[in-house]
Amino acid sequence: MKRSTGIRNALALASVLTAFPLTTLAQKSPTPVPPVSNPCTPRFAAGSVIAQPPALFSQNGVLNVRFSYQQTIDSLGNPIYCFMTPDGIQEPTLHVNPGDTLNITVTNNTQAQPFGETFNTPNCGDTTVQFPTTSPPLQQGQQNPNGIASVGSSVNIHYHGTNVTPQCGGDNVTKTLINSGSTFQYSFTFPTNEPPGLYWYHPHVHGLAERDLLGGATGALVVDGIQNVQPAVQGLPQRLLIVRDQTSIFGAGAETMNCGNGIPFQDLSVNYVPIVSFQESNGTIGFTPAVLQMQQGATEFWRVVNSAADTILDLQVMYDGVSQTMQIVSIDAVPVNSQEGPQPPKLIPVTRFRLPVASRVEFLVKAPASTVKVAQLVTNNINTGPQGDCDPTRALFNISLTHGGELLATREDRMPTFTALSNHQQRFGGALLDDASTVRTLQFSEIQPTQFFITVAGQTPVVFDNNHPPAIVTHQGAVERWIVQNLAQENHEFHMHQIHFQVLAQENFETNGATQAPAIDGQFLDMVEVPFWDNVKNPNGPVPDVQLKMDFRGMDIGDFVYHCHILSHEDLGMMAIIRVTKDE
């Protein structure tokens, strides 16, 4: 669906609201983090070699981080955003262990905006949403009189996939706001049975989320210890590959639906190396892939996060046009087959993997033979529906073989050695579906082009507003079956904050020619895609849905959200609040 950023922002603006009573974080006015020079760098040229992101590691059970949230303007006049450490590190990978405490101090050093909506109390941090003005974008290097480009606004941080508290100071997105000049302290502890794997962090102010992610303000968060759940990864070189998207150079020219090799809705990047789209002399669209150096003969552990705002990925490792086997280790930070059954868990071999927006996949892959002429990681064309976006086929990177010495040597580049098989992270096992206390049906729907809904069947569809009461109230200890249907003519993606769900079934995908996603049935995810329903072409056809086991037996008490993670949809209202009450 073609969307104007101005329309998105103007119609998506929502105030934040009275909700579940929140515990105020006890803190002594945190010391502000000063802005750093040359923010949001380095971001690389097209065709560059992919570098491992910088990393920070917890010590003695604690990771302390200080972030300055900043912005600048790229060469096309688009705003870009970043979390910077005082010593100039952009979006470092945050490494913690189960049971560790993460303390993050954030100062918003972007330019204030002149108007906004008020948060109803109780709230965390500031009370007014600062929204961008509608004035024309600045050119590269153009600044306002105080030296900061006037495209800044409110921010907060979502710790995507983590099973941590939604209270103030934790993973709270509907009540937390950090405005220009304000400083906020996050402090929370990971469960001792948090599954080891790949999570990530990003801004989550409703109405601004797509813009901030297109600006690149995302980073990886790793709960360490996966080698003690899945010993197959021990000692291997690891690659952290963060796929982001950015405004396409062709802007509103993007096609829709099954666009083949057409103009993408958004361009992509890998670890800030852009996969730039360009027009060939014959009018077709081409792409400049990045370069990944891989040691000849090596097996590597690739850890891929789709931290795009809008772009779905369909991944294949291709050597001279032949799809290679990827041995799946983990999906959405939960090692596959690790929550039930014999240990260590069995890997899942696939030759293709669908990676929804915000999802993660971790897998083993072998380097190409020296005789291979073209080795690539490719994302394939996706039919997103008659009103969907264009996610065309494009190579993310070419693999270049190296020979001789050690390519990856630092702590963040090689997996630790297996020490002892750990069942400690079997957080989600043991809940039988027969224990389900409630069955709920949720439905994605739209009124094009500006109203997007996720609605409990029987309720009236409403665009998200933080002042609304929770759409669902359940209790700690509940186990429920949710059926999530897609009534729209474009793909949508279901994301649940605070908990993971088990995929029980993918139903009616074939109605419009879609195929079920491989490797996810029976696994525990926080993201799942539901394909479009073409009710115009096939009005009597069955509605595509996924069936999920929702497990509320954990520690997460309070209000949090579920939504479509295609953020142009979420910003236009496709989100709702759930309240989990304490199990007396």
Q: Over the stretch 455-492, which tens digit does the pLDDT of each residue have?
A: 999 999 999 988 789 999 999 999 999 999 999 999 99
The rounded percent of the chain whose pLDDT value lies above 90 is 73
Q: What is the mean pLDDT of the chain?
A: 88
Beta strands in 259-387 (DSSP E): 266-270, 273-279, 285-288, 290-295, 299-306, 313-319, 322-323, 326-331, 334-335, 348-350, 353-355, 360-366, 375-379
Q: Are strands 479-486 and 438-447 parallel, antiparallel or unpaired?
A: parallel
Q: What is the rounded average pLDDT of the residues 406-434?
A: 78
Cβ count near 445 (within 10 Å)? 17
Q: Over the stretch 244-259, which tens digit does the pLDDT of each residue have?
A: 999 887 765 566 667 8
Q: What is the rounded average pLDDT of the residues 29-33?
A: 93
In the predicted structure, residue 224 carries a pLDDT above the cut 90: yes
Identify whether the C-beta of residue 328 lies closer than 8 Å to the C-beta of residue 361.
yes
pLDDT band at 410 (very low <50, low <70, confident <90, very high): low
Render the burial of 313-350: b for 16+ CB within 10 Å, e for the rest.
Answer: bbbbbbbeeeeeebbbbbbbbbbbbbbeeebbbebbeb
Q: Are strands 360-366 and 326-331 parallel, antiparallel or unpaired?
A: antiparallel
Q: Which positions ≥6 away from 406 have C-beta within 8 Å?
A: none
Render the burial of 148-166: b for 16+ CB within 10 Å, e for the rest.
Answer: bbbbbbbbbbbbbbbbbbb
**DSSP codes of every residue in 359-398:** -EEEEEEEPPPTT-S-EEEEE--B---TT-B-B--EEEEE
CA dist., res. 334 & res. 355, Å (int): 15
Q: Burial level of 527, CB count in 10 A (0-12/13-18/19+)?
A: buried
pLDDT at 151: 55
CA dist., res. 58 & res. 206, Å (int): 30
In the predicted structure, residue 40 carries a pLDDT above the cut 80: yes
Which residue do the tokens 């240990």 mark? 343
pLDDT at 143: 36
Identify whether the C-beta of residue 550 lies closer than 8 Å to the C-beta of residue 481.
yes
Q: Over the stretch 371-380, which tens digit does the pLDDT of each residue have?
A: 999 999 999 9
Q: What is the rounded average pLDDT of the residues 63-67?
A: 98
In the predicted structure, residue 17 carries a pLDDT above the cut 80: no
pLDDT at 254: 64
Tokens of 402: 């190296």
Which residue do the tokens 């600048």 mark? 72
pLDDT at 555: 84
pLDDT at 28: 58
CA dist., res. 266 & res. 245, Å (int): 6
Which residue do the tokens 């959200």 mark? 561
Tokens of 289: 């892939």
Domains of the chain: 1-223 (2.60.40.420), 231-413 (2.60.40.420), 433-581 (2.60.40.420)
In the predicted structure, residue 162 carries a pLDDT above the cut 70: yes
Which is more confidently placed, 253 or 400? 400
pLDDT at 110: 94
CA dist., res. 384 & res. 234, Å (int): 38
Please give the distance of CA 298 from its chain centroid, rounded to a whole number: 29
| Interior angle at CA 47, CA 408 and CA 243, nearest 5 | 70
Q: What is the rounded average pLDDT of the residues 110-124?
A: 76
CA dist., res. 92 & res. 201, Å (int): 10
* End-to-end CA, the chain: 46
In the predicted structure, residue 27 carries a pLDDT above the cut 60: no
The 3-class secondary structure across 182-194, one letter per residue, is CEEEEEEECCCCC
In the predicted structure, residue 144 carries a pLDDT above the cut 80: no
CA dist., res. 174 & res. 15, Å (int): 9
pLDDT at 150: 44
Write the single-letter amino acid at 306.
N
pLDDT at 331: 98
Among residues 503, 131, 416, the alpha carbon closest in space to that of 494 is found at: 503
In the predicted structure, residue 55 carries a pLDDT above the cut 70: yes
